[in-house]
Amino acid sequence: MDLTDSLKISASGLKAQGTRLRVIAENLANADSTAKTSGGTPYQRKVVTFRNVLDRELGVDMVETNRPALDKTPFDTKYDPTNPGADAQGYVKMPNVNTLIELADMREAERSYEANLKAIEASRTMLQKAIDILR
């Protein structure tokens, strides 16, 4: 494996973590989005899963994301009879988004993203040193 291969591998990791960060941001943005009609369904949390895909050219597994899936966690309810999404008893289904979990997931994705950036920087530095030696 040469340095350009390591750049491709790290780039696939960056893309996967970037997708994960976008989904987390969407979850956080909709953490308080209730249904617009009585008895409707509020925003449902999305989760990103990863899969390994063999790159035959490089002979290594690359990381890719599956389509974001809906979290099956049940919705909490809150008493708010003035909300348009309230049922006959005055309860509103709240999104199944837990802000603390989203922030922890965001931190983890951020660290993975940074690790892939560091790997790209290291590969780039080694490539530049090899070019300097050849001069």
Domain count, the chain: 1
pLDDT, tens digit (0-9, with 9 covering 90-100), for 70-118: 999 999 999 999 999 999 999 999 999 999 999 999 999 999 999 999 9
Distance CA 65, CA 50 (A): 4
Q: Can you give the residue range of the structural domain that contains 55?
A: 3-134
pLDDT tens-place string over residues 37-57: 988 899 999 999 999 998 888
Q: Would the pLDDT of 5 be above 90? A: no
pLDDT at 39: 80
Give the per-residue pLDDT at 1: 61
